[in-house]
């Protein structure tokens, strides 16, 4: 068998697709649009690995399928090019983020092209390009204008040696990533926020309408975290502090308060003599990361201040605690140790009194004997005028009472907080704002956008942007004073990914963020594919941005993506996470060289349902490789018989330029192949149409693994058949092409759909119809003719298989040598059994009788066992 020259075939078709602009689309089409996209990647210096490839192939199969089904398919790709790793590379290796990123992008594009993906490369986006981030800045200005961008103090991780803010990822065990001896400090800085909370109700309510995985929708709901409760005013040092609680019924049981250790105004509460102690406690905070805080032991320290309970006028101590979120509610909680487990543990630890205010119905609890908080229902006690109330009813009643006294009010709280977008870093979108001593915060005028990142900056100490004086020192656009200072914070890179899907619709527009008409045509995204790790952040941010842009009047819809699909993670061999440090990164280039990229594609998709995690396996791909070779050989055999007498009139992969001469070409190409094609049997037609129907459904539902199985089975059926019609073999090639596009194009060409007209002349391709014939990927999806599906045939085939299995079973069981097989069938079924087929399968002589045949040979009366669908068997 000839080796398959994958590299040559892949290159040939990738070039052809590109040259003929096969996947370039425009909104000027009669066809119905379909927008499918995968989340754009951060172009890391480590390059593309198989996990990425898997993600893109999932989208590619879907896009190709939709093209087949007659849609005008937008399938774009871009690069989320701004981000921390490029900056880390600058600090550690002295590479400028721009060159690092450009190199990485170049590498990504090259690798992605090798995967044979159906992207419209014309629409490629690079978020690090100022022509893109200009519009990030533009959106920011619009938000500022609408009051959705504002400044507020917020905690950050600070390393005093780097003299800069650290990302959570740059904090290792509370120490700086570059200075193992430096404990990270928590500092408060003025930062920019986007008021996503203005959209909180819509973000929550519209989740139900989305065709997204339920688990993701649930996660978003919990993340937004709407809860109803009561805001209660406590007085501390003659100042009002309101706290949010869902349990106002326990207000008489408050024995202390806890303010978040990261609260902006914490120090206002700390008395002079407690300052040292509190500062010492704050030093223990390892980073601002909530995950780390939650994993720390719950601890606190007394601030020296007391809060006055508005209903009892009791004074209770105020603690600073590491387990209270600064951003939720007011950053302070009232603690009721008798009825909240966390408060209970805290009270036990610091010897704070426990006061029971709810007694259960069936038994009595006492504060001395309590082993844990009582969180169940019961009657209020020690609650003055509310004694005896059912605690559930008391919730409303006490809230009402507080409201009357002007000491509180019912309130709704969300876990979702405003989006902190300020980053004290270089490789991000500059925030287009100028600070003027006279005019204050001045937005950069729209016509001065983009505010470009200056190339000349120093890395390693402080915020790089501050090292470029030309950038920082500017004239105030308002008053003209030369004393103004440019904002040196850049934006969170999630900003860039919050609207890129809109830019794909009109990627080169330099006068507007996008053309409304183009966006109206393509949007919303019909199917969005990406990892589940984005369930709560990116996938909420992009919904927020869409709603904001709608309210600006640019869009007429509020949800960016109708359908969402999460692909599973690809792990390395043996289930180990793929990473450079573990040395188990599977590189698509290498796999491609060894097995062909189509083989890798098919293997990844056949492993498991695409939404499940899977492990790469060298042995596994070998199995797929075997199948691919077999398919190749089949199509090769189709032309081999003729090669003896007639060289093929098309360039074969082994003879790139060979085989072309006018004499052979003058043999009509159809005639040339005619004798190889014939009529498909009823059996083949049945199986083919069934396969088309089921494979279509499977692809539609992202059950690619099941589709692949059916493709394999269909191929085996075709292999078994003596002849096949050209149309039916074409159907197979079409289906095969969504998974293995390069090989399929090759087969398509070979079975005579390309380049030569009836006279053997090279066909001039004009317009779309020409392209459609030239490329299998632009032909149309085979129609599933359900009238040709013969279930009876399938049933009969099963009976045959079962009979064969039974015979083999018996042969394996009995001692004696078997030379003849006798089969006794009920009279109506006798035509289902084919002596020739059966003797072939057993390699033995076979005789078949009707069980009522008087002349039959049946020494052990096995004919009696014959039932419909289950013949009697005798062996000797």
Which residues, numbered 117-156, are part of the site for RNA (CB under 7 A)? Answer: 156
Distance CA 556, CA 522 (A): 12
- Contact characters 455-494, RNA, x per CB under 7 A: -------------------------------------xxx
Closer residue to RNA (CB): 256 or 494? 494
Minimum CB separation of residue 387 from RNA in Å reads: 32
- Select from 50-58, 358-366, 423-431, 435-443 the region that touches RNA (CB under 7 A): 423-431
Contact in structure between 866 and 852 (CB atoms under 8 Å):
no
3-state helix, strand, coil in the chain (%, to 5): 45, 15, 40
Closer residue to RNA (CB): 705 or 839? 705
Distance CA 97, CA 106 (A): 14
Distance CA 822, CA 280 (A): 93
- Select from 24-32, 139-147, 402-410, 707-715 the region that touches RNA (CB under 7 A): 707-715
263, two tokens: 């609260």
Residue in 103, 206, 415, 550 binding RNA, rule: CB under 7 A: 415
- The reply on whether position 424 binds RNA by CB under 7 A is yes
Minimum CB separation of residue 423 from RNA in Å reads: 5
- Contact characters 565-584, RNA, x per CB under 7 A: ----x-------x-------
Instruction: Give φ, ψ of 271 to 5 degrees.
Output: -80, 160
Give which of 817, 824, 785, 818 is closest to 803, Cα–Cα: 824
Residue in 222, 458, 671, 759 binding RNA, rule: CB under 7 A: 222
Residues within window 149-188 making contact with RNA, judged by CB under 7 A: 156-157, 165-169
As a three-state string, the secondary structure of 408-450 is EEEEEECCCCCEECEECCCCCEECCEEEECCCEEEECCHHHCC
Whether the link from the prior residue into 69 is cis, omega within 30° of 0, is: no
Minimum CB separation of residue 420 from RNA in Å reads: 5
Residues within window 621-650 making contact with RNA, judged by CB under 7 A: 622-624, 626-627, 630
- The reply on whether position 92 binds RNA by CB under 7 A is no
Residue in 11, 172, 417, 520 binding RNA, rule: CB under 7 A: 417
- The reply on whether position 560 binds RNA by CB under 7 A is no
Supply the angle between the helices 97-114 and 84-93 in degrees, to the nearest 10: 120
With a CB cutoff of 8 Å and minimum separation 6, the contacts of 157 are: 165, 166, 167, 168, 170, 171, 184, 185, 186, 287, 288
Closer residue to RNA (CB): 348 or 630? 630
- The reply on whether position 697 binds RNA by CB under 7 A is no
Contact in structure between 619 and 595 (CB atoms under 8 Å):
no
Residues within window 599-618 making contact with RNA, judged by CB under 7 A: 606-609, 612-615
Residues within window 763-802 making contact with RNA, judged by CB under 7 A: none
Closer residue to RNA (CB): 472 or 608? 608
Minimum CB separation of residue 586 from RNA in Å reads: 15
Angstrom distances, CA of residue 646 to CA of 3, 608, 649, 669, 840 = 22, 44, 8, 11, 34
- The count of other CB atoms within 10 Å of the CB of residue 80 is 20
Distance CA 9, CA 783 (A): 28
Residue in 59, 78, 85, 443 binding RNA, rule: CB under 7 A: 85
Residues within window 225-244 making contact with RNA, judged by CB under 7 A: 225
- The reply on whether position 836 binds RNA by CB under 7 A is no
Whether the link from the prior residue into 105 is cis, omega within 30° of 0, is: no
Bridging pattern class, strands 525-529 and 561-565: parallel
Residues within window 47-66 making contact with RNA, judged by CB under 7 A: none
Closer residue to RNA (CB): 364 or 805? 805
- Select from 177-185, 228-236, 700-708, 848-856 the region that touches RNA (CB under 7 A): 700-708
Closer residue to RNA (CB): 329 or 649? 329
Minimum CB separation of residue 293 from RNA in Å reads: 8
Contact in structure between 692 and 734 (CB atoms under 8 Å):
no
| Number of chain residues interacting with RNA (CB under 7 A) | 95
757, two tokens: 């007209």
Closer residue to RNA (CB): 93 or 813? 813
With a CB cutoff of 8 Å and minimum separation 6, the contacts of 18 are: 121
Residue in 101, 112, 118, 191 binding RNA, rule: CB under 7 A: 191
Minimum CB separation of residue 638 from RNA in Å reads: 18
Three-state secondary-structure class, residue 130: helix
Residues within window 240-299 making contact with RNA, judged by CB under 7 A: 288-291, 294-295
288: DSSP letter: S
Residue in 274, 563, 712, 844 binding RNA, rule: CB under 7 A: 712
Closer residue to RNA (CB): 569 or 660? 569
As a three-state string, the secondary structure of 378-396 is CEECCCHHHCCCEHHHHHH
Instruction: Give φ, ψ of 562 to 5 degrees.
Output: -70, -50
Closer residue to RNA (CB): 55 or 250? 55
- Contact characters 507-546, RNA, x per CB under 7 A: -------------------------xxxxxx---------
- The reply on whether position 620 binds RNA by CB under 7 A is yes
Contact in structure between 199 and 547 (CB atoms under 8 Å):
yes
- The reply on whether position 98 binds RNA by CB under 7 A is no
List, in sequence order, the alpha helices (H) in 564-647.
588-595, 597-607, 618-645
Contact in structure between 23 and 17 (CB atoms under 8 Å):
yes
Minimum CB separation of residue 164 from RNA in Å reads: 9
Supply the angle between the helices 741-750 and 726-739 in degrees, to the nearest 10: 160
Residues within window 4-43 making contact with RNA, judged by CB under 7 A: 41-42
Closer residue to RNA (CB): 156 or 777? 156
Minimum CB separation of residue 171 from RNA in Å reads: 8
Distance CA 599, CA 605 (A): 10
Closer residue to RNA (CB): 613 or 761? 613
- Contact characters 796-825, RNA, x per CB under 7 A: -------xxxx-xxx-xxx-----------
Contact in structure between 235 and 308 (CB atoms under 8 Å):
yes
Contact in structure between 367 and 356 (CB atoms under 8 Å):
yes
- Select from 97-105, 556-564, 663-671, 709-717 the region that touches RNA (CB under 7 A): 709-717
Closer residue to RNA (CB): 312 or 705? 705
Q: How many residues does the chain have?
A: 876
């Amino acid at each position: 068998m000839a080796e398959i020259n994958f590299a040559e075939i892949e290159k040939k078709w990738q070039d052809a697709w590109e040259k003929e602009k096969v996947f370039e689309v425009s909104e000027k089409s009669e066809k119905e649009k379909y927008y499918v996209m995968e989340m754009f990647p951060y172009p890391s210096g480590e390059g593309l690995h198989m996990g990425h490839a898997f993600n893109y192939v999932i989208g590619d199969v879907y896009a190709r399928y939709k093209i087949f089904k007659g849609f005008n398919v937008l399938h774009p790709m871009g690069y989320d090019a701004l981000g921390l790793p490029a900056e880390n590379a600058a600090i550690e290796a002295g590479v400028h983020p721009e060159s690092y990123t450009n190199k990485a992008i170049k590498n990504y594009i090259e690798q992605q092209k090798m995967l044979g993906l159906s992207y419209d490369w014309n629409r490629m986006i690079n978020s690090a390009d100022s022509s893109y981030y200009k519009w990030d800045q533009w959106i920011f200005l619009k938000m500022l204008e609408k009051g959705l961008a504002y400044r507020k103090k917020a905690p950050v991780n600070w390393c005093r040696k780097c003299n800069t803010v650290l990302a959570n990822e740059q904090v290792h065990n509370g120490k700086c990533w570059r200075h193992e001896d430096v404990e990270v400090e928590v500092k408060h800085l003025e930062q920019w926020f986007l008021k996503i909370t203005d959209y909180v109700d819509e973000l929550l309510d519209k989740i139900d309408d989305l065709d997204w995985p339920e688990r993701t929708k649930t996660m978003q709901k919990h993340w937004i975290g709407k809860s109803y409760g009561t805001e209660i005013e406590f007085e501390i040092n003659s100042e009002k502090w309101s706290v949010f609680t869902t349990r106002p019924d326990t207000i008489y049981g408050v024995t202390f308060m806890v303010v978040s250790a990261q609260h902006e105004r914490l120090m206002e509460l700390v008395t002079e003599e407690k300052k040292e102690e509190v500062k010492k406690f704050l030093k223990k905070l390892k980073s601002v990361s909530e995950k780390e805080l939650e994993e720390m032991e719950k601890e606190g320290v007394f601030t020296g201040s007391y809060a006055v309970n508005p209903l009892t006028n009791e004074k209770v101590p105020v603690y600073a605690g590491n387990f209270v979120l600064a951003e939720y509610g007011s950053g302070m909680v009232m603690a009721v140790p008798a009825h909240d487990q966390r408060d209970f543990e805290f009270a036990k630890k610091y010897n704070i009194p426990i006061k029971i205010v709810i007694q259960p119905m069936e038994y009595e609890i006492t504060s001395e004997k309590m082993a844990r908080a009582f969180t169940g229902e019961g009657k209020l006690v020690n609650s003055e005028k509310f004694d005896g109330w059912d605690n559930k009813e008391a919730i409303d009643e006490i809230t009402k009472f507080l409201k009357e006294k002007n000491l509180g009010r019912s309130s709704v709280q969300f876990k979702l907080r405003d989006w902190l977008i300020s980053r004290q870093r270089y490789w991000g979108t500059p925030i287009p704002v100028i600070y003027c001593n006279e005019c204050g915060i001045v937005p950069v005028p729209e016509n001065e956008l983009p505010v470009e990142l200056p190339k000349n900056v120093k890395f390693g100490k402080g915020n790089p942007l501050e090292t470029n004086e030309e950038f920082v020192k500017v004239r105030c656009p308002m008053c003209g004073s030369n004393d103004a200072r440019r904002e040196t914070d850049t934006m969170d890179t999630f900003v860039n990914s919050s609207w890129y899907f809109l830019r794909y619709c009109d990627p080169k527009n330099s006068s507007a963020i996008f053309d409304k008409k183009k966006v109206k045509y393509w949007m919303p995204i019909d199917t969005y594919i990406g990892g589940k790790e984005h369930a709560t952040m990116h996938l909420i941010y992009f919904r927020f941005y869409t709603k904001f842009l709608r309210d600006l009047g640019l869009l007429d819809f509020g949800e960016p993506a109708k359908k969402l699909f999460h692909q599973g993670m690809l792990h390395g061999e043996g289930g180990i996470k793929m990473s450079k440090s573990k040395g188990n990164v599977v590189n698509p280039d290498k796999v491609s060289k060894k097995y062909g990229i189509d083989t890798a594609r098919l293997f990844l998709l056949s492993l498991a349902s695409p939404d499940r995690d899977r492990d790469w396996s060298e042995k596994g791909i070998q199995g797929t490789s075997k199948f691919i070779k077999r398919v190749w050989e089949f199509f090769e055999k189709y032309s081999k018989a003729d090669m003896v007498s007639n060289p093929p009139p098309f360039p074969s992969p082994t003879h790139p330029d060979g085989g072309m001469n006018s004499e052979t070409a003058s043999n009509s190409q159809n005639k040339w192949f005619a004798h190889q094609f014939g009529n498909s049997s009823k059996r083949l037609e049945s199986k083919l149409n069934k396969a088309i129907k089921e494979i279509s459904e499977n692809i539609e539902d992202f059950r690619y693994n099941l589709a692949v199985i059916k493709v394999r089975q269909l191929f085996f059926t075709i292999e078994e058949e003596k002849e096949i019609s050209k149309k039916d073999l074409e159907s197979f090639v079409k289906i095969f092409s969504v998974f293995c596009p390069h090989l399929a194009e090759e087969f398509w060409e070979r079975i005579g759909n390309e380049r030569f007209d009836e006279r053997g002349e090279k066909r001039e391709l004009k317009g779309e119809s020409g392209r459609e014939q030239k490329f299998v990927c632009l032909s149309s999806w085979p129609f599933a003719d359900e009238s040709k599906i013969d279930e009876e045939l399938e049933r009969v085939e099963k009976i045959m298989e079962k009979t064969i299995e039974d015979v083999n079973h018996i042969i394996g069981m009995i001692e004696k040598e078997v030379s003849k097989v006798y089969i006794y069938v009920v009279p109506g079924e006798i035509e289902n059994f084919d002596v020739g087929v059966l003797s072939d399968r057993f390699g033995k002589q076979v005789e078949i009788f009707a069980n009522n045949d008087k002349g039959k040979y049946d020494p052990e009366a096995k004919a009696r066992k014959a039932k419909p669908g289950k013949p009697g068997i005798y062996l000797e």
